[in-house]
Chain A
Amino acid sequence: MSTGAPVDLSHAAEASLEAGDASERTITARSPLQLFWRRLRRDKVAMTALFFIAFLVLIALLAPLIVKIAGTPGISVPDREALDEFGLPSGPTAELFPPKLGDHPLGVDQIGRDVFSRTVYGARVSLLVAFVATGLALFIGVTLGLVAGYFRGWADAILSRVMDVMLAFPVLLLALGLGAACSLSPCLGGIIQPGLPVVIFVIALATWPYFARIIRGQVLSLREKEFVEAAKSLGASDFRIIFREILPNLIAPIIVYTTLLIPTNILFEAALSFLGVGVQAPTPSWGAMIAEATGIFDTAWWFMFFPGLALLFTVLAFNLVGDGLQDALNPRSSK
Chain B
Amino acid sequence: MSALGASLPRPRRRSATGGAGGLTIGVTTLWLSLIVLLPMAALVDRSLQDGLGTFWHAASSRQAVSALRFTVLISLAVTAVNAVMGTVIAWVLARDSFRGKRLVNGLIDLPFALPTIVAGLVLLALYGNAIAYTKWAVLLALLFVTLPFVVRAVQPVLIELDTEMEQAAYSLGASKATTFRRIVLPNLVPAIVSGAALAFARAVGEFGSVTLISGNKPFDTQVSSVYAYKQLESDNVTGAAAVSVVLLVVSLLVLMGLRLFESRVGRRG
Q: Do A and B bind each other?
A: no
Interface residues of A (CB under 8 A from B): none
Interface residues of B (CB under 8 A from A): none
